[in-house]
């Protein structure tokens, strides 16, 4: 069983569209994250949730809205997609309110055309 | 801003040689972690070292931490072609009751057969 799974793996869409990426973890972890990795492999934290509560919200445009229906799921919805949103988005989870090792999903490669 | 800065940015060695990668950070930390990312994949946790630890071993990996210099090193001994990947250090800082995991820019390691 995959520990952290995110879907879809690839997403190609036009500018202005709205899209969602889903993430689920079956590890029983209390903390989940969204990271964005750009073309230079720079990994930037976007959001962090602990038991469905938003605890970290970096300077991310409000077109990005995370939603955590329960502590095993953290979805990312993006409105009005822009070319600069093209990147690989990683979901991750960890224990101990974020202090433990993180387990990553396989990534979603988003291409905005 | 990124917390960790790794050096070198790229490293190319012959199979069987040792690889040493360094990481420096700016603020106080709870722990420091190293991750590996193979091309097109998610990140995989390698090792975690707590702020009160100075050295840790795991198989062919050796990690050191010098909190006075705010630096860490990852040594991979007897490298193999399969070690070819990007390596990231990540620091955990406490933010109240929660923690934040922040990544450095990464080091690209190439191991020539």
In contact, B101 and B90? CB cutoff 8 Å: yes
Residues of chain B neighbouring A100 (CB-CB closer than 8 A): 48
Q: d(Cα A1, Cα B111) in Å, to the nearest integer?
A: 31
Place of tokens 């040792």: B18
Q: d(Cα A11, Cα B103) in Å, to the nearest integer?
A: 25
**Chain mean pLDDT for chain A:** 93
Listed residue (A38, A80, A39) closest to A61, CA to CA:
A80
In contact, B15 and B80? CB cutoff 8 Å: yes
Contact B44 A104 (CB under 8 A): yes
Per DSSP, the residues of A9-58 read SEEEE-TT--EEEEEEE-S--SEEEEEEE-TT--EEEEEEEETTEEEEE-
Q: d(Cα B35, Cα B25) in Å, to the nearest integer?
A: 16
Q: Can you give the pLDDT at residue B1? A: 44
Chosen from B23, B35, B42, B89 to mutate, greatest number of chain A CBs within 10 A: B42
Residues of chain B neighbouring A90 (CB-CB closer than 8 A): 42-43
Average pLDDT of the residues in A36-50: 92
- Residue B84 DSSP code: -
A interface toward B at CB cutoff 8 Å? 4, 31, 33, 35, 40-45, 48, 50, 55-56, 90, 92, 94, 96-107
Domains: count for chain B: 1
In contact, B44 and B37? CB cutoff 8 Å: yes
Backbone angles phi, psi at A98, to 5 degrees: 95, 0
Contact B100 A98 (CB under 8 A): yes
pLDDT at A27 over 90: yes
- Give whole-number Cα distances, B12 to A12, B21, B71, B80, B81, in Å: 34, 11, 22, 12, 11
**Chain mean pLDDT for chain B:** 92
Token pair of A41 as six digits: 């492999």
Residues of chain A neighbouring B44 (CB-CB closer than 8 A): 104
Q: Can you give the pLDDT at residue B3? A: 64
Which CATH number does the domain housing residue B21 bear? 2.60.40.10
- Give whole-number Cα distances, B110 to B10, B17, B104, B105, in Å: 8, 11, 18, 16
Residues facing A16 on adjacent strands: none
Answer left, alpha or beta for residue B60, where phi above 0 means left and psi between -120 and 50 means alpha.
Answer: alpha
Average pLDDT of the residues in A59-63: 89
Span B46-101, pLDDT tens digits: 999 999 999 999 999 999 999 999 999 999 999 999 999 999 999 999 877 788 89
Looking at the complex, does the CB of residue B3 fall below 8 Å from at least one CB of chain A? no
CATH annotation of A4-112: 2.60.40.10
Contact B98 A35 (CB under 8 A): no
Span B21-36, pLDDT tens digits: 999 999 999 999 999 9
Its domain, for residue B31, covers 5-112
Q: d(Cα B85, Cα B106) in Å, to the nearest integer?
A: 10
């Amino acid at each position: 069983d995959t520990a952290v799974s995110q879907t879809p793996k690839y997403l190609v869409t036009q500018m202005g569209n709205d899209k969602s990426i889903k993430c689920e973890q079956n590890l029983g972890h209390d903390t989940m994250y969204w990271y964005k990795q750009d073309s230079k492999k720079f990994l930037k934290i976007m959001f962090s949730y602990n038991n469905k509560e938003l605890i970290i919200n970096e300077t991310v445009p409000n077109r990005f809205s995370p939603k955590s229906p329960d502590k095993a799921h953290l979805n990312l919805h993006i409105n009005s997609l822009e070319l600069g949103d093209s990147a690989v988005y990683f979901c991750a989870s960890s224990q101990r309110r974020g202090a433990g090792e993180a387990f990553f999903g396989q990534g979603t490669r988003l291409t905005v055309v | 801003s990124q917390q960790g800065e790794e050096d070198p940015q790229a490293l190319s060695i012959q199979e069987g040689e040792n690889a040493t990668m360094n990481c420096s950070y700016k603020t106080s930390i709870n722990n420091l972690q190293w991750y590996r990312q193979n091309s097109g994949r998610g990140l995989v946790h390698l090792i975690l070292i707590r702020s009160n630890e100075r050295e840790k071993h795991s198989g062919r990996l050796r990690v050191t931490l010098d909190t006075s210099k705010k630096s860490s090193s990852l040594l991979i001994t007897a490298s193999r072609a399969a070690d070819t990947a990007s390596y990231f250090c990540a620091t955990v800082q406490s933010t109240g009751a929660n923690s934040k995991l922040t990544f450095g820019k990464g080091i690209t390691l190439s191991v020539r057969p």
